[in-house]
Amino acid sequence: MSDRVQSQFLNVIDRDEAERRFHESLELSKVDHEDVDIENALGRILAKNIVATNNVPSFDRSNYDGFAVRAADTYAANEESPQELTLCRESIASGQRPEGEVVSGSAMAIATGGMLPRGADAVVMIEHTDTVGDRLCVRRAVTPGFGISWAGTDIAHGETVLFSGTTLGSRETGVLAAIGIASVPVYRRVRVAIISTGDEIISPGSEMQPGLVYDSNAQILADSVRELGADPLRLGIVCDDYKQLKKIVSEAQKLADIVLLSGGTSKGAGDLCYRVVEELKTPGIVAHGIALKPGKPVCLAVEAGKAVVVLPGFPTSAIFTFHEFVAPVIRKLGGVDAAANLRASRSVVNAKMAIKVISEIGRTEYMLVGLVPGTETETNTDLVAYPMGKGSGSVTTFGRADGFITIGRHEELLEADTPVRVQLLGTELQLADLVVIGSHCVGLDYLLSRLQEQGFRTKCMAVGSTGGLEAVRREECDLAGIHLLCEKTDQYNRPFLGPNMELISGYHRQQGLVYRRGDAHFQGCSAGDAIASAIRDKDCRMVGRNQGSGTRILLDKLLAGARPLGYEVQPKSHNAVAVAVAQRRADWGIAIESVAAQQGLGFIPIRHEQFDFVTPSSRMNRPALLALKALLEDREVRDWLAARGLSIDG
């Protein structure tokens, strides 16, 4: 077959079968171990049990500042009738070995942490005594053992204090220090080689050109490896050169315990990863094409018991497949036991789906979701899961999501309010002080950034104006940004308010037609004439907007039923419209003035629209919402917005 002919996956298999084949072929014995100083042991995995060779404490120790006594001498003591004891001349400080003995009727001063003297079996707290010369008046009785930590009560000599496979945190290193351990046996960090592939991939910091993509996968994967306690070896970007890629993979196999390639898994004409991995010796490729969404193109291979994995190029797909197939292998090689693996999979919360979701039969689907508080009850607050569906190519979606749900390969539909279990992406769920669901705007971003500076945690999910209104109706958010035009009243936003909704006045934005400067269809024309000219020319391509957005309503009104070439292309943001025009994938569209200026496009004003905020009446007095209202009155904020064409009345 020619190198330029694209082939399809040979055998798409079930996720569990792919994992079984993969693990069956791997050599999963733990990596060798090494001794490290306790100062450098944080985060490492113990390779052997740690047995205490000393008692902790190593002596009978006082818990208080007070007096060592014989408990029987205090039994008659009370506030009205203190018991008098003879005070010994010796006083025991911390770190001092006592020389004298406490005999019946006597007491010896002792500091917190001091060694209990011979004869004493209790400590009277200093606040329960008075001294008069060499006499001690005890005003409260004590029992034998009171105020004392006996030798070995914390840790006993011969006790196993930490077990092999334990991840050493600050508590564990404290235990090691307490029993006098200076160095500790730990598993060597698993080494994971990371190779990015493709002519289109460039390093962050390089100048962006159309058709190129910054290499985000290498950074995400490297830090994911670090989070698992392993060492990433970033071997850079390899262009579509077969000999060079084969050489780098061979070197990586010598340096690392696991080799990861990012990109080039779909067996297309320019994909070389599969060709290189295909040449690995027995067993070689064990799975190429797994019934997952996202992540179908992942390729799992093994040579000499060592994993070589080709992850999909799209960021979300790459991360999901990494955590699904590679992370468990890293944990196993690194000495993390099965129980820890199980605990790692238990960071889940219960929620309900916000909207209906349609899945694809035959593939296990992982869907990123954002979590927001739903209905409040007397005992708790229900969580609601919103799909964050920007596709497997979106790295920002993964960064902003709270977790993901797993939709089984036999499930086709999840109705709204369906209970789901959400696997958290972080170690814990941090709910926001202000949840914003609705239309996106650069002005809203600025307002939220100012709230973050004030210490409020915010979450914003762009689902369009109509979706935002629905979230307000269901009381699943604190705020929705909207810019909806009512055709009957020709008024923005207020006609769409429902019961128990409040409007917070926002700012004006200038909507207009965007085009490349010099285009005769539009240059020097009014909006009406420009749109009419574009509609007449069947080769003049527009870019539309998504259903439910305020811009879509305005656009449909302007087109009056016409459906020009490109109308069916419906991105979800003004910026996407402007970029499509600037990059000549379209000739015109409707967007706000600020994004037209960013892209150097021509702009024909159509009308000012009002971008307002809607909130549930029940949430009007929440602190973060009150702070946002104050920002809208702030002169500095108003000046910032005005400088970007976003004006506030008054």
Closest by alpha carbon to 462, among 615, 352, 561, 571? 571
CATH architecture of 15-28+189-340: 3-Layer(aba) Sandwich (3.40)
Q: Compute the distance between CA of residue 542 and CA of residue 535 in angstroms, rounded to an integer.
A: 9
* Cα dist from 172 to 46, 162, 178, whole Å: 10, 8, 10
Determine the Cα–Cα distance for residues 162 and 175; give it in Å rounded to an integer.
9
User: Cβ neighbours of residue 631 under 8 Å, at least 6 residues apart?
Assistant: 447, 450, 451, 637
Token output for 568: 């069916």
Q: Which CATH architecture fits 434-650?
A: 3-Layer(aba) Sandwich (3.40)
Q: Do the beta carbons of residue 389 and residue 421 sit within 8 Å?
A: no
Tens of pLDDT along 74-125? 999 999 999 999 999 999 999 999 999 999 999 999 999 999 999 999 999 9
For the segment 197-237, what is each residue's pLDDT rounded down to a tens digit? Answer: 888 888 888 888 888 888 889 998 999 999 888 999 999 99
60, 111, 114, 320 from 94: Cα distances, Å: 12, 6, 4, 55
Prior bond to 204 cis, omega within 30?
no
- Rounded to whole angstroms, the Cα distance separating 574 from 584 reads 16
61-149: CATH number: 2.170.190.11
pLDDT confidence tier of residue 381, bands split at 50, 70 and 90: low
Spell out the domain ranges in the chain.
15-28+189-340, 33-56+154-187, 61-149, 348-424, 434-650
Question: Greatest CA span in the chain, whole angstroms?
Answer: 113
Question: What average pLDDT does the chain have?
Answer: 88
529-570 residue pLDDT tens:
999 999 999 999 999 998 878 889 889 999 999 999 999 998
Q: Per-residue pLDDT tens for 468-523?
A: 999 999 888 899 999 998 888 989 999 999 999 999 999 999 999 999 999 999 99
d(CA 548, CA 484): 9
Superfamily of domain covering 33-56+154-187: Molybdopterin biosynthesis moea protein, domain 2 (3.90.105.10)
CA 485/CA 557 separation, integer angstroms:
10
**Better pLDDT: 374 or 635:** 635
Taking the C-alpha atoms of residue 149 and residue 112, their distance in angstroms, rounded to an integer, is: 11
SS3 content of the chain, % helix, strand, coil (to 5): 25, 30, 40
**Whether the Cβ atoms of residue 468 and residue 548 lie closer than 8 Å to each other:** no
Q: Each residue of 463-480: pLDDT tens digit?
A: 889 989 999 998 888 999
Rounded to whole angstroms, how far apart are CA atoms 601 and 594?
10
β-pairing, 357-358 vs 434-438, is unpaired
Whole-number CA gyration radius for the chain = 34
* Residue 395 confidence (pLDDT) above 60: no
The answer to which of 163-177, 341-355, 413-427 has the lowest mean pLDDT is: 341-355
Identify the CA nearest to 542 among candidates 559, 557, 525, 528: 559
User: Do residues 35 and 176 make contact, with C-beta atoms less than 8 angstroms apart?
Assistant: no
CATH class of segment(s) 348-424? mainly beta
